[in-house]
Amino acid sequence: MKLGQVINIIQSKREVGSTFFTCNLAGALANEGKKVLILDFGNDSNIMEFFNFDKYNDMSKVLKKEISLQSAKLIYQENRNLTVIKAQNKTTYNKKFIKSIFQQIKKTYDYILIDIKEDSKKETFSLLEEYIQKNVLVVEPEQSSIEQVSNILKTLDNEADTSILINKFDFNNEEEEHLLISIEDMYSILKLPYLGIVEYTNEEKTKSPSFHKPYSDLHMAFERISKRIINNEYLNKITNVNYVSDFSMEILYKNFDISEKRL
Task: Render pLDDT for 98-134 as a digit per residue (tens, 0 to 9).
Answer: 999 999 999 999 999 998 765 555 677 788 888 999 9
The residue type of 76 is Y
Residue 74 near residue 100, CB atoms below 8 Å:
no
CATH superfamily placement of domain 5-255: P-loop containing nucleotide triphosphate hydrolases (3.40.50.300)
Q: Find the mean pLDDT for residues 31-58.
A: 88
Most confident region among 33-37, 46-50, 165-169, 248-252 by mean pLDDT: 33-37
Crossing angle (nearest 10°) for helices 183-190 and 143-155:
30
Q: Share the mean pLDDT of the chain.
A: 78
- Count of Cβ atoms closer than 10 Å to residue 161 Cβ: 16
Q: How confident is the model at residue 206 (pLDDT cuts 50, 70, 90)?
A: low
Q: Find the mean pLDDT for residues 216-237.
A: 83
Residue 244 has pLDDT above 90, yes or no: no
Q: H or E element: which one contains 70?
A: helix 69-72
> 38 burial class (0-12, 13-18, 19+ CB within 10 angstroms)?
buried
pTM: 0.84
Q: Give the contacts of 33 (CB within 8 A, at least 6 positions apart).
A: 81
Q: How confident is the model at residue 135 (pLDDT cuts 50, 70, 90)?
A: very high
Task: Render pLDDT for 53-89 as a digit per residue (tens, 0 to 9).
Answer: 988 888 989 999 999 999 999 999 999 999 999 987 6
Residue 141 has pLDDT above 80, yes or no: no
Instruction: Dump the DSSP string for 9-56.
Output: EEESSTTS-HHHHHHHHHHHHHHTT--EEEEE--SS-HHHHHTT--S-
